[in-house]
Each structure stands twice: as structure tokens, then as C-alpha cells.
Amino acid sequence: MKRYAYFPGCSLEKMALSYHKSAIESARKLDVEFEELEDWNCCGATAYFHIDELLAYTLSARNLAMAEKTDLDMVAPCAACYKNSYFTNEALKKDPDLAEHINFALEEDNLHFTGKLSVKHLIEVFAHDVGPEEIKARTVRPLEGLKVAAYYGCQILRPRKDHENVEQPHFFEDLMAAIGAEPVDYPEKLLCCSGSLIITSRRAALSMIRNLLNGAVHSGAAVIATACPMCQVNLECYQKQVNQEFGTDFNVPVLYFTQLLGLALGITPRRLRIGSELVLPTPALSRVRRKPATT
């Protein structure tokens, strides 16, 4: 049994509830347990860094200090929460003066940051810690014939954390292949979904989303898989606006990788909250060739 301290983040409370539920369900099937931080706060997204760095570090440090109390490593399913938690952890470990200043603030909530844990993105838990071989072995309903565009987006990979491959990663495709799906060659897989520009610079954002949808359709994908609530919402919930703006006719379902993983592990679509999308994935998923699992 692998255990992690789990920091869901604001989006997963409601907007991306399907990501939260499917992550928990899929993890349970793979003997992974997530212990939710007891009183987590917002990671600050990008906005806090627009206003004040110290403030932004303080927000993430509070979550890290809470996670440290559990003696487990921290996992975040949202790319922005992950990036902020990861880099705050690194910045505070490298700069004792900064850590001291922030610990002074954390005293108000009886917390203390020491820098003893490591921060992971949810997809790392499945793609690395559990691993494709194990997932393949546990797959009871392989998603055969389902063409998936594995969309990485930005902040899972960038800024660079260590020595990872930021130009040609393939762990997401490997994970999709492990559950029997067919990852397509998706050249736009590392491009930005436009993030909060969807609110602040609408025209630019819709054009970026159009580019991503266009690439997915051209690569033959029946579904786009994401690992970030912001990417999911931008790619899915704004398809109508993209179509209005550019006279296009996109109707591509966008699912969380945990939902596809869950299906392959034999969890019912209902428990994975498939059906809460604006672009229904049912037609794409119904084409999956049903066949008994081979062992």
C-alpha cells in the first residue's frame, strides 16, 4: 500500500470533481491511498505571483507544513498547485532566510516548514510510482481501439524540475498504452491551453484552444486526456465559444486521465463521474472494442 498526503486544490472541489473522484477510485484499485490535507488552502495559482512572491510562497508553505505533519510525500492533481508547491518547497529549502521569514508567519497557524518531503504530480504516482507494467497487469477492461491525444500542457513539465525530458516526454502516452488505448502522435501535446488568459485575454485564449483542438482532430484522436483541471475546462467548456469565434465545428470530448484509467481498471463510468462533461464522451467511449482481459 502506497500512501501520500493529498492536496486536491480549489478546482477539484467542484469544477473538476470528476478528476478528484476518479483519482481516488483509480488509486484505491491500485492499492494507493490518499490522505487529504486537513485544512488546505488555495495555492495562489498565478495571481499571487503577480502581486507578491512572499505572499505566494506563504500560501504554499502552509500546505507543505501540513503535509509534513503526515510524514508522507505530497501529491497534487492540479498542474498549478503542483508547480507552486514544488517550487515553494525548493525555494524554501535553498534559502534559510526566506524559510525563517515564512515560518514566522506559519507560527500563527501553529505550523512549521522543514523541507523534508517531496512534491509530486498525480500523474507521476501512476506513471512512475505504480508504473505502466503494474497498471497493465491490473487492467480488466483494456480501452482497445480508443485513440487518445495525451495532452501534457505546461506546468507538469515546466519550469524544469530536475533532469526530466521537457521536449519529448512519453510517460503520458506510455500510461495510455498500458490501459490498452492507442496514444496518437499529437504534436501540440506540450503547448499551452492559455490558462487564465481565457478570462483576461479572451481572443488570444480562444485562438490557442482552437490550435490544440485542431491538432487533436487532425491526429485522429477520439478523446483528449488531460492531467490538469485548467486544461480540461479550457479545452472542453470553451469549445462552443471557439466554434462561434472561428466558425469551426469541434466536438471533442476531454477526459481526465484518471477517468480513462478507472474505466480500464473496471470502475463504472458513474463512479468516475463520466457524464458531467459539456461535450459528452459517450459516443467515443462506446466505440471501444469490448473484449475480455488477457492475462
Partner 1 sequence: MSSRPTFSEEIANLLHAAHGNPIRLCMQCGTCAGTCPSAPFMDHTPRRLIAMINANMKDEVLASNTYWYCASCFHCTVRCPCDIDIAGLMYALKRYSMWKGQHQPELIGPVFSETFVKTVFRSGRSYEPILATTYLFSFGLQDFITEAQAATTMMLKGRLPLLPPRIKRLKNFRRMIGRVIPVGGLE
Cβ proximity to partner 1, 32 vs 106, nearer residue: 106
Supply the minimum distance, in Å, between the C-beta of residue 267 and partner 1.
Answer: 19
Nearest-approach distance from CB 10 to partner 1, in angstroms = 4
In Å, what is the CA distance from 191 to each residue of 112, 156, 218? 37, 12, 16
Dihedral pair phi/psi, residue 191, rounded to 5°: -80, 160
What whole-number distance in Å separates Cα of residue 233 and Cα of residue 248? 18
Residue 90 CA from chain centroid, whole number: 20
Closest distance of CB 221 from partner 1, Å: 20
Which lies closer to partner 1 via its Cβ, residue 104 or residue 287? 104
Cβ nearer to partner 1, comparing 157 with 263? 157
The footprint of partner 1 (CB under 8 A) covers: 10, 13-17, 38-42, 44-55, 58-59, 62, 101-102, 104-110, 154-155, 157-160, 166, 190-192, 194-197, 199-205, 207-208, 211, 237-238, 240-241, 244, 276-278
Grid coordinates belonging to 277: 462533461
Q: Enumerate the β-bridge partners of residue 256.
A: 226
CB-wise, 143 or 198, nearer to partner 1? 198
Q: State which residue, 167 or 292, has the beta carbon closest to partner 1.
A: 167
Residue 182 CB, nearest distance to partner 1 (Å)? 27
Measured CA to CA in angstroms, residue 273 lies from 20, 69, 276 at distances of 10, 32, 6
- Rounded CA separation 233/74 (Å): 24
CB of 130 to partner 1, least distance (A): 27
Output Rg (C-alpha) for the chain, integer angstroms: 19
Can you tell me which residue has the cell 508553505?
61
Give the nearest distance from C-beta 88 to partner 1 in angstroms. Answer: 13
The distance of closest approach from Cβ of residue 144 to partner 1 in the complex, given in angstroms and rounded to an integer, is 29
Start-end of H helices in 95-238: 96-106, 122-124, 132-138, 171-178, 197-200, 202-218, 229-237
Q: Nearer to partner 1 by C-beta: 74 or 274?
A: 274
Cβ nearer to partner 1, comparing 131 with 169: 169
Which residue, chain included where needed, has cell 500523474?
123
3-state secondary structure 37-62: CCCCCCCCCCHHHHHCHHHHHHHHHH
